[in-house]
């Protein structure tokens, strides 16, 4: 699993060898972290921000994520979450 982060802080790759994995060890505290750098992963990312779920990555998506990364991000949110936010 490779991540992409604001100002390239904590942009790195991790070995994920379990059904679920929590990646909490970061070297810095970036404004946002995207959990599927280059959109090459065959997995889903659950974004959990206690203050604004999904909002920090969503705000950065248009400016900092590539088109494939934006598509992967929307797919990670799932249709039920996107519909709920649009209402």
What is the model's pLDDT at position 54?
Answer: 62
Task: List residues bridging with 5 in a β-sheet.
Answer: 33
Tokens of 74: 């929307």
- Buried residues in 3-25 as b, exposed as e (16+ CB within 10 A): bbbbeeebebeeeeeeeeeeeee
Per-position pLDDT tens, the chain of length 87: 888 888 776 678 888 788 777 766 566 777 888 888 899 887 778 776 655 556 777 888 888 899 999 999 888 877 655 444 544
pLDDT of residue 84: 47
Question: Please, are residues 73 and 61 in contact by the beta-carbon 8 Å criterion?
Answer: yes
**pLDDT value for 24:** 60
The whole-model pTM stands at: 0.70
């Amino acid at each position: 699993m490779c991540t992409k982060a604001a100002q390239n802080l904590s942009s790195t790759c991790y070995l994920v060898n379990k059904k679920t994995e929590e990646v909490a060890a970061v070297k810095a505290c970036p404004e946002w972290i995207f959990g599927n750098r280059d959109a090459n992963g065959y997995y889903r990312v659950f974004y959990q921000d206690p203050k604004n779920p999904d909002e920090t990555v969503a705000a950065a998506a248009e400016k900092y994520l590539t088109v494939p990364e934006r598509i992967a991000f929307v797919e990670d949110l799932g249709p039920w979450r996107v519909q709920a936010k649009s209402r």
